[in-house]
Amino acid sequence: MNNQIYPCITGVAAWLPPDRLTNELLASMVDTSHEWIASRTGIEERRILKDKDLGTSYMASHAVMNLLEKKGMEADEVEVIICATITPDMMFPNTANLICDRIGARKALAFDMLSACAGFLYALETGCNYIRSGRYKKVIVVGADKMSSITDYEDRNSCILFGDAAAAVLLEPSPDEDGIIDTILRCDPVGKDLIYLKAGGSARPASLETVQNKEHFFYQDGKRVFKYAVQGMAAVSQEMMQKHHLTNEDIDYLIPHQANLRIIEATAQMTNIPLEKVTINIQKYGNTTAATIPLCIWEWENDFRKGQNILLAAFGAGFVWGATYLRWAYNPD
């Protein structure tokens, strides 16, 4: 008899700020156009949390509260909260702790994971291991980023890319063998000089100089990151498919990180998965970093059926990247 515990996603919810930053609006701020942005990235608009006094924990706690309401759960039933983010409210206390405060959870262990655009997959695998251990039965993994807080809205290379959002999943032990089957996570520091936020950490604390040099904003060498992202996401997806003897026909959905429509299309092409099976919402939200994958799960939840094969793939700063293979655990209500 197989005594293994399979973690599965049993619910998903999201929270999006109401304010929309359209390509047209960006074209009035920097030297760009809707045509350029849409054709080079696929993005048409993104959501922005405008209130300067509100941080990532605000969005994440709303996503988690929506999830608890949907599942009819009390905050104190949550045993673990893992927040994937690169835009914590502050260096410490951690954002997951602030989420606990906002939602009134007093019995959870809570911590953050910082793995950029692959953050949700890293956090999901960690959350799954709490379930697999047999000691925990209700784990929330939330991906949330207020990317507008580290975006330079005078730099046309980067300000077009990002949006703010939060989305959360509930993990529980599966009653059968449907659930998260496997995850492959990778890291290669070749990316450390290609995509980063230079200052504000212990190696380069904030100073007048770092502020004047705009070192508290996101930076990337977009062209080079693009190539690594395509290769990384496609290779790890193929590896996962081969490992589990899955052909492109066996895959019901590919849920890729949403950084650039051209990266998504190239990944689909290289894995031979037709675009009808690929979740794409980048046109509405841009790159929301750790939130992109759970945001897709949330938007497509009603299309998924129990037992369907779903492949998640993400690539981010570091570089860190990975893929998760899961069999969806429930039908829509």
Q: Which residues bind ligand COA (CB under 6 A)?
A: 32, 36-37, 40-41, 116-117, 156-157, 160, 220, 222-223, 225-226, 229, 259-260, 263, 315-317
SS3 content of the chain, % helix, strand, coil (to 5): 40, 25, 35
Residue with smaller CB distance to ligand COA, 135 or 223? 223
Nearest-5° angle of CA 90, CA 260, CA 185? 65
Q: Across the chain, where does the E strand assignment appear?
A: 7-15, 19-22, 45-48, 80-84, 109-113, 139-146, 164-173, 180-187, 195-196, 219-220, 253-256, 309-316, 320-327
Q: How far is the CB of 124 from ligand COA (least distance, A)?
A: 17
Q: How far is the CB of 120 from ligand COA (least distance, A)?
A: 12
Active site residue 97: no
Minimum distance from residue 116 beta carbon to ligand COA (Å): 6
In the complex, least distance from residue 104 CB atom to ligand COA, rounded to whole angstroms: 33
Residues composing the chain: 333
The least CB distance from residue 314 to ligand COA, in Å, is 8
**What's the min distance (Å) between Cβ of 312 and ligand COA?**
15
Q: Which of 257, 260, 296, 309 is catalytic?
A: 257
Q: Which of 100, 117, 128, 159 is catalytic?
A: 117
**What distance in Å separates the CA atoms of residue 314 and residue 298, rounded to the nearest whole number?**
17
Contacts 24+ apart (CB under 8 A), 262-266: 262/40, 262/41, 262/42, 262/226, 263/226, 263/229, 263/230, 263/233, 263/315, 264/42, 266/230, 266/234
Active site residue 257: yes
Single out the catalytic residue among 97, 287, 296, 309. Answer: 287
ω into 93 cis (within 30 of 0) = yes
Closest-CB residue for ligand COA? 222
Give whichever of 8 and 263 is closer to ligand COA, judged by the CB atom.
263
- Contacts with 154 (C-beta within 8 Å, 6 or more apart), sequence order: 29, 30
Strands (E), 33-179: 45-48, 80-84, 109-113, 139-146, 164-173
In angstroms, give the least distance from the CB of 229 to ligand COA: 4
CA 279, CA 109: separation in Å to the nearest integer? 32
| Cβ proximity to ligand COA, 40 vs 137, nearer residue | 40
* CA pair distance 19, 289, nearest whole angstrom: 18
- Measured from the CB atom, the residue of 103 and 161 that comes closer to ligand COA is 161
Q: Which residues touch 87 (CB under 8 Å, ≥6 apart)?
A: 55, 56, 145, 146, 147, 149, 150, 289
**Which CB sits closer to ligand COA, 223 or 245?**
223
Nearer to ligand COA, 139 or 293 (CB): 293
Shortest CA distance to 164 belongs to which of 45, 16, 12? 16
Which is nearer to ligand COA, 253 or 315 (by Cβ)?
A: 315
Which amino acids are annotated catalytic? 117, 257, 287
